[in-house]
A = this chain, B = another copy of it.
Amino acid sequence: MAQSDNRTAAIVGGGVIGGGWAARFALMGWDVRIFDPDPEAERKISEVLAGAERALPMLYDAPMPTRGQITFHSDLAEAVNGVAYIQESVPERLDLKHKVFAQIQDACPEDAVLASSTSGFKPSELQDGALRPGQIVVAHPFNPVYLLPLAELVPGEGGDPATTERARQILREIGMYPLHVRAEIDAHIADRFLEAVWREALWLVKDGIATTEEIDDAIRYGFGLRWAQMGLFETYRIAGGEAGMKHFLEQFGPCLTWPWTKLMDVPEYNDALVDLIAGQSDDQSGHMSIRELERLRDNNLVAMMRALKGQGAAAGKLILDHETDLRGPLQDDVPLVTIRRTVPVDWTDVNGHMNEGRYGQVFSDASEELMTHVGADRDYIAAGNSYFTAETNIKYLAETLAAESFYVETRVLLGEGKKLRLWHEMKRASDDEILATCDQFLLHVSLETRKSCPPLPHVAEAVERLAAAHSA
Return the chain B residue nearest A92 by Cβ: B251
Please indicate the chain B residues that have their CB under 8 angstroms from the CB of A403 in the complex: 54, 57-58
The answer to whether B307 and A303 have CB atoms under 8 Å apart is yes
Please indicate the chain B residues that have their CB under 8 angstroms from the CB of A262 in the complex: 265, 267
Q: A288-327: contact bitstring with B at CB < 8 Å (1 yes, 0 no)?
A: 0001001111111111111111110111001100111111
Return the chain B residue nearest A237 by Cβ: B212
Chain A residues numbered 224-275 whose CB sits less than 8 Å from any CB in chain B: 224-234, 238-239, 241, 252, 255-256, 258-267, 269, 273
The answer to whether B210 and A189 have CB atoms under 8 Å apart is yes
Q: A345-359: contact bitstring with B at CB < 8 Å (1 yes, 0 no)?
A: 110011100011111
Q: Which of A219, A355, A365 gathers the greatest number of chain B CB atoms within 10 Å?
A: A219
The answer to whether B308 and A261 have CB atoms under 8 Å apart is no
For residue A150, CB closer than 8 A to chain B, the reply is yes
The answer to whether B62 and A284 have CB atoms under 8 Å apart is no
For residue A55, CB closer than 8 A to chain B, the reply is yes
The answer to whether B255 and A203 have CB atoms under 8 Å apart is no
CB distance from A145 to the nearest CB of B (A): 11
The answer to whether B209 and A231 have CB atoms under 8 Å apart is no
Which listed residue, B216, B301, B341, B378, touches A63 by the CB 8 Å rule?
B341
The answer to whether A260 and B120 have CB atoms under 8 Å apart is yes
Which segment, of A108-116, A394-402, A414-422, A458-466, faces chain B?
A394-402
Q: A163-206: contact bitstring with B at CB < 8 Å (1 yes, 0 no)?
A: 00000000011010101011101110111111111111111111
CB distance from A326 to the nearest CB of B (A): 5
CA distance A381 to B353 in the complex (A): 13
Please indicate the chain B residues that have their CB under 8 angstroms from the CB of A391 in the complex: 393-396
Return the chain B residue nearest A3 by Cβ: B325
For residue A103, CB closer than 8 A to chain B, the reply is no
Interface size band for A: 35 or more
CA distance A303 to B263 in the complex (A): 35
Which listed residue, B216, B232, B327, B358, touches A233 by the CB 8 Å rule?
B216
CA distance A307 to B298 in the complex (A): 12
For residue A332, CB closer than 8 A to chain B, the reply is no
Please indicate the chain B residues that have their CB under 8 angstroms from the CB of A189 in the complex: 204, 209-210, 214-215, 218
CB distance from A302 to the nearest CB of B (A): 5
Please indicate the chain B residues that have their CB under 8 angstroms from the CB of A389 in the complex: 356, 396
CB distance from A143 to the nearest CB of B (A): 6
CB distance from A371 to the nearest CB of B (A): 10
The answer to whether A280 and B213 have CB atoms under 8 Å apart is yes
Chain A residues numbered 452-471 whose CB sits less than 8 Å from any CB in chain B: none
CB distance from A403 to the nearest CB of B (A): 5
Which listed residue, B225, B322, B360, touches A359 by the CB 8 Å rule?
B360
The answer to whether A394 and B392 have CB atoms under 8 Å apart is yes
Which listed residue, B58, B191, B390, B405, touches A306 by the CB 8 Å rule?
B58
CA distance A154 to B197 in the complex (A): 21
Return the chain B residue nearest A147 by Cβ: B301
**Known contacts A294-B51, A298-B147: does B399 contact A390 (CB below 8 Å)?**
no
For residue A5, CB closer than 8 A to chain B, the reply is no
Which listed residue, B62, B196, B252, touches A200 by the CB 8 Å rule?
B196
The answer to whether B315 and A310 have CB atoms under 8 Å apart is no
For residue A386, CB closer than 8 A to chain B, the reply is yes
The answer to whether B211 and A284 have CB atoms under 8 Å apart is yes
28 contacts between A and B (CB under 8 A): A16-B239, A47-B291, A59-B305, A61-B323, A61-B341, A64-B341, A148-B226, A150-B222, A172-B322, A175-B319, A185-B209, A189-B215, A192-B261, A193-B218, A195-B255, A199-B266, A206-B273, A223-B227, A230-B314, A303-B311, A304-B308, A307-B346, A355-B361, A356-B361, A356-B392, A389-B396, A392-B392, A399-B450
**Shortest beta-carbon contacts, A-B, top 7:** A357-B361, A216-B231, A263-B263, A360-B360, A150-B222, A224-B227, A228-B228
Name 7 extra pairs, CB < 8 A, besides A61-B365, A300-B314, A357-B357. Answer: A58-B302, A61-B323, A61-B341, A191-B260, A224-B229, A300-B313, A391-B394
